[in-house]
Chain A
Amino acid sequence: MTLPRRDPRQERIVRNRRHPEHDRLMDDQGAGAAMVTWTGPSGVRRCDPHRCGFIGPNGIKRIDRGGSQQPMGNAAPSAGRQQPTAQRRHIEIESPAFLVTVVPDMPGGRLSSHDRDLLGLARQLADADAQSPGAVLAIVMGAHKETQWGDAGVDRLMECGDSALEGYAPEARLGALEAVERELAPRFWLLPDAATGGADLGRRLAARLGERPVTGLWSLESAPETAQGWRCTTRGGAGSLDIQRPLSRVILALEECAEPVSETHHAASVLTLSHPLLPLLSRIEDQGRVPVDPASIALAEAEFILSAGNGVKDWEGFHHAARVLGATEGASRVAVDDGFMARDRQVGATGTWVTARVYVAVGISGAIQHLQGIQRCDKVVAINKDPDCDMIKRADLAVIGDAGEILSALVARVEQEREEQRDAA
């Protein structure tokens, strides 16, 4: 049996940071690691200021009391980025009391922010009564690229990949929705009141079902005394009136009608109709897009922008690239001030706030005034010589290199591909 023995000398050295043998002893013992942080007698987390923290950018030692930083030594500046995102609560609704159907617009094949707001609204309607929760059913028509259904708040997903539903096929789409109505009889129908399609389809559906829809809904509150249990506020009279009225079955909601789902993850299990859709003789025929001169599209609503900054030297090449790619031209302030581009092409705080789905920044450093203007762009591509500039941080894809060379290589590729297609055809 061994008695625990104290070594008073060692204890003294451990207490004395200045002792020449202090560091060695701490490392040997491994006691150091345990001593960096501990829980004090009153339950508060304490830490040894000499053994934690990191040296900040200006040479001063900083201590991070949030606890996300590792003790001395491996204080990587990007530690914040690697933090796991907060776990979402997983929710599965086995036997829903009712269905709330959402028909998202999915411009570009993905859920738009409007669609997400709408799904948030659908969750409000479905989850109101915790005893008998409803399920949110999303109906997607045509091909799509969305993968995050569960995070958007979808319990059931119905994918109608029928080729008859592609393009502008309002009558066929209405037929699909009617089939859902017959088979599942959802309690609510939610569509975005947006020019991307929901406004048209929703009104068709309401007229077909013989329901009076609420249109332009932007706020919802529960009201048990009404038939549906909800009251809502809608915009009417070309945006000049607010109408408070009871909710109805078919709902066309505006953007920001509710907060998108952010705390929960839903099952998004696949649901199919038991009967296949019947082919429908359509009286409306889609003859395809009409080419529009990209230069004539207002910058604010252009879908694809090729934007030039101070890094562009070969302006002829840039204009040629925009023509070949079919992109609307934009510019940074410097390019405009230097007289290479027109004033109405300027993107940013003092120019236009653009909403492009794809924004290609050529030789733009990404000053905050410029980045403000592209806040709402989905995909940003940066071409720049400087790998540390702010535009690279914002970009989804950044290519480091000379702008002129990369643009001409891109143009060559696109032209070559068109050539091959023409030959094949």
Chain B
Amino acid sequence: MPHELTKPASLTVAVLLSVGRHPVTGRARRADQDARGLELALSLSAARIELVHAGPFDDACEASMRGYLGMSSGYTETGADSVTLVEQPSQADVLPALSHALSESLAPQLVIAGERTEQGEGSGMLPYQLSESLGWPIVGGIVAVEAVDEGVATLLQALPRGQRRRLSVRLPAIITVNATATSPRQSAFGPARRGTLAVVEQPAVHDEAQDEWHVEPARKRPKRLKIVKSTSARERFKAAAAKSDGGGGQVLTDVTPDEGAAAIHKLLKEEGVLR
């Protein structure tokens, strides 16, 4: 989607990037939602883009950051050819460092993040905590930024069941990207090598709560059993064998088509599906 930005120079967008995990092989990769967030940022014409990651600087980190750079480092004029890497030990609470980097050095008007990370706790709390500590509004589940005009962004939000809602939010703001946003472009190898990683040091805060957790690969969740509470064998047999007979819906026989249509119309309106 092309976007008309009235004040292009004034918009700075920070995209928060995390280290993804391939669901099958478990290898580090660009995280899907963050890549969608970067795609969203790249679709904002003439915005300045800051890529930010906080975490340990290791092979996995480099591999995934280069995954993002392969999408964006052709856009040198936007500043998207370099990742600001706020270095933090693993198991650190990155919130203070990230919040400091955003408010002090990068000063974006719009922060784009994914909804959940693909590794670790993946609670999806980071954008909300950032919003709380920076005092900026946050909106979740965004699929598109339609316009940015005089410090107000018009956003398109994904609702369940394929619906969309339009919102406007006062900048500076934080948005999280929904999994149904435009899928990210391919990551190209050459640009990925040419992009740069700029490491920044920040004091680290150890996340103590995690020490007492016990983490293991996800088990399959037990399937819910249909519990039949009954007193007699006959009822248990009936529950096991009987076809569900719905139990008394309203049946209109011998009505004219118009009366039937009226009844259906009433139900559709009550359920609020007619718009």
A residues contacting B by CB (< 8 A) are 64-68, 80-81, 86, 107-109, 168, 170-171, 194-196, 199-200, 203-204, 206-208, 212-213, 215-216, 218, 235-246, 256, 259, 262-263, 283-292, 296-298, 301-304, 325-327, 357-358, 360, 368, 378-381, 383, 387, 390, 392-402, 405-410, 412-414
User: Would you give 5 A-B contacts (Cβ < 8 Å), ordered by A?
Assistant: A86-B231, A240-B21, A244-B216, A401-B256, A409-B261
Measured CA separation A199–B122 after assembly (Å):
13
Q: Which residues of A contact B231 (CB under 8 A)?
A: 86
Asked if B27 is at the interface of the complex by the 8 Å CB criterion, the answer is: no
Q: Which of A203, A283, A397 contacts B128 (CB 8 A)?
A: A203
Indicate the member of A262, A304, A397 with the most B CB atoms within 10 Å.
A397
Asked if B258 is at the interface of the complex by the 8 Å CB criterion, the answer is: yes
> Among residues 217 to 275 in chain B, which have CB atoms less than 8 Å away from a CB atom of chain A?
217-219, 221, 224, 227, 229, 231-235, 238, 243-258, 260-265, 267-268, 271-275
Q: Would you call A398 and B23 a contact (CB within 8 A)?
A: no
Measured CA separation A194–B124 after assembly (Å):
12
B residues contacting A by CB (< 8 A) are 21, 23, 116-125, 128-129, 131-132, 137-141, 154, 156-157, 159-170, 173, 209, 212-219, 221, 224, 227, 229, 231-235, 238, 243-258, 260-265, 267-268, 271-275
Contact status of A358 and B271, CB under 8 A, knowing A256-B224, A410-B264: yes
Measured CA separation A143–B149 after assembly (Å):
33
Q: Which of B140, B165, B213, B257 contacts A244 (CB 8 A)?
A: B213
Q: Would you call B160 and A213 a contact (CB within 8 A)?
A: no
Q: Would you call B214 and A290 a contact (CB within 8 A)?
A: no
Q: Would you call B213 and A245 a contact (CB within 8 A)?
A: yes
Q: Which residues of B contact A289 (CB under 8 A)?
A: 159, 163-166, 275
Q: Would you call A301 and B162 a contact (CB within 8 A)?
A: yes
Tell me the smallest distance from the CB of B8 to a CB of chain A, in Å. Answer: 23
Q: Would you call B274 and A325 a contact (CB within 8 A)?
A: yes
Indicate the member of A81, A203, A298, A393 with the most B CB atoms within 10 Å.
A203
Measured CA separation A107–B271 after assembly (Å):
11
Indicate the member of A241, A259, A285, A289 with the most B CB atoms within 10 Å.
A241
Q: B164's closest neighbor in chain A, by CB?
A: A290
Q: B125's closest neighbor in chain A, by CB?
A: A203
Tell me the smallest distance from the CB of B204 to a CB of chain A, in Å. Answer: 18
Q: Would you call A287 and B167 a contact (CB within 8 A)?
A: yes
Q: Which of B141, B161, B167, B265 contacts A286 (CB 8 A)?
A: B167
Contact status of A410 and B233, CB under 8 A, knowing A237-B122, A398-B249: no
Complex A-B, nearest 9 residue pairs according to Cβ-Cβ distance, in ascending order: A66-B234, A399-B260, A409-B261, A297-B162, A405-B257, A410-B261, A304-B273, A207-B128, A207-B132
Q: Would you call B253 and A387 a contact (CB within 8 A)?
A: yes
Q: B141's closest neighbor in chain A, by CB?
A: A195
Measured CA separation A213–B121 after assembly (Å):
11
Q: Would you call B160 and A195 a contact (CB within 8 A)?
A: yes
Q: Which residues of A contact B233 (CB under 8 A)?
A: 66
Tell me the smallest distance from the CB of A409 to a CB of chain B, in Å. Answer: 4
Q: Is the interface of B mostly helix, strand, loop or mixed?
A: mixed
Q: B237's closest neighbor in chain A, by CB?
A: A66
Measured CA separation A359–B224 after assembly (Å):
25
Q: Is the interface of A mostly helix, strand, loop or mixed?
A: mixed
Contacts A358-B267, A398-B249 known; list 20 others, CB within 8 Å. Answer: A81-B245, A108-B271, A194-B160, A207-B128, A207-B131, A215-B121, A215-B125, A218-B221, A241-B218, A242-B218, A286-B165, A358-B273, A392-B249, A392-B251, A395-B249, A395-B251, A397-B249, A399-B252, A409-B257, A414-B274
Measured CA separation A108–B213 after assembly (Å):
37
Q: Would you call B168 and A285 a contact (CB within 8 A)?
A: yes
Q: Would you call B170 and A283 a contact (CB within 8 A)?
A: yes
Q: Would you call A284 and B260 a contact (CB within 8 A)?
A: no
Q: Which residues of B contact A380 (CB under 8 A)?
A: 249
Q: Would you call B166 and A287 a contact (CB within 8 A)?
A: yes
Q: Which of B244, B245, B265 contacts A410 (CB 8 A)?
A: B265
Q: Which residues of A contact B243 (CB under 8 A)?
A: 368, 390
Q: Would you call B234 and A64 a contact (CB within 8 A)?
A: yes
Q: Would you call A284 and B167 a contact (CB within 8 A)?
A: yes
Q: B138's closest neighbor in chain A, by CB?
A: A204
Measured CA separation A360–B267 after assembly (Å):
11
Q: Would you call A207 and B137 a contact (CB within 8 A)?
A: no
Measured CA separation A212–B126 after assembly (Å):
11
Q: Would you call A238 and B122 a contact (CB within 8 A)?
A: yes
Q: Would you call A86 and B229 a contact (CB within 8 A)?
A: yes
Measured CA separation A406–B259 after assembly (Å):
9
Q: Which residues of B contact A397 (CB under 8 A)?
A: 249-250, 252, 263-264, 267
Q: A282's closest neighbor in chain B, by CB?
A: B137
Q: Which residues of A contact B122 (CB under 8 A)?
A: 215-216, 236-238, 241
Contact status of A398 and B250, CB under 8 A, knowing A168-B165, A196-B160, A302-B162: yes
Indicate the member of B23, B245, B257 with the most A CB atoms within 10 Å.
B257
Indicate the member of A65, A207, A218, A256 with the most B CB atoms within 10 Å.
A207
Measured CA separation A414–B165 after assembly (Å):
24
Measured CA separation A239–B212 after assembly (Å):
20
Contact status of A402 and B218, CB under 8 A, knowing A66-B232, A207-B132, A397-B263: no
Q: A293's closest neighbor in chain B, by CB?
A: B162
Q: Which residues of B contact A200 (CB under 8 A)?
A: 140-141
Q: A285's closest neighbor in chain B, by CB?
A: B168
Contact status of A379 and B221, CB under 8 A, knowing A243-B121, A245-B214, A303-B163: no
